[in-house]
Chains A and B, each alone.
Chain A
Amino acid sequence: GQQVMQIPQYQHVQEGEDFTTYCNSSTTLSNIQWYKQRPGGHPVFLIQLVKSGEVKKQKRLTFQFGEAKKNSSLHITATQTTDVGTYFCAGLLIQGAQKLVFGQGTRLTINP
Chain B
Amino acid sequence: DTGVSQNPRHKITKRGQNVTFRCDPISEHNRLYWYRQTLGQGPEFLTYFQNEAQLEKSRLLSDRFSAERPKGSFSTLEIQRTEQGDSAMYLCASSLTRRGNTIYFGEGSWLTVV
Partner of B91, one of A6, A42, A48: A42
- B interface footprint on A34-61 (CB within 8 Å = 1, 0 otherwise): 0100000111110010100000000000
Contact A42 B105 (CB under 8 A): yes
Interface-lining segment among A14-22, A65-73, A76-84, A96-104: A96-104
Check A98/B101 contact, CB under 8 A, given A43-B91, A88-B42.
Answer: yes
Inside 8 A of B33's CB, which chain A residues have their CB? 99-100
Number of chain A residues close to chain B: CB under 8 A? 23
Among the interface residues A31, A35, A42, which one has the most CB atoms of the partner chain B within 10 A?
A42
Number of A-B contacts (CB under 8 A): 57
Contact A97 B55 (CB under 8 A): yes
A105 to B48 Cα, complex, angstroms:
22
CB distance from A9 to the nearest CB of B (A): 9
- Asked if A92 is at the interface (CB within 8 A of a chain B CB), the reply is yes
Given contacts A90-B103, A99-B56, list 5 more A-B pairs with CB under 8 A.
A31-B101, A88-B42, A92-B101, A100-B43, A100-B45
Binding site for B on A (CB under 8 A): 6, 31, 33, 35, 41-45, 48, 50, 88, 90, 92, 97-105
Binding site for A on B (CB under 8 A): 31, 33, 35, 41-45, 48, 50, 55-56, 89, 91, 97, 100-108
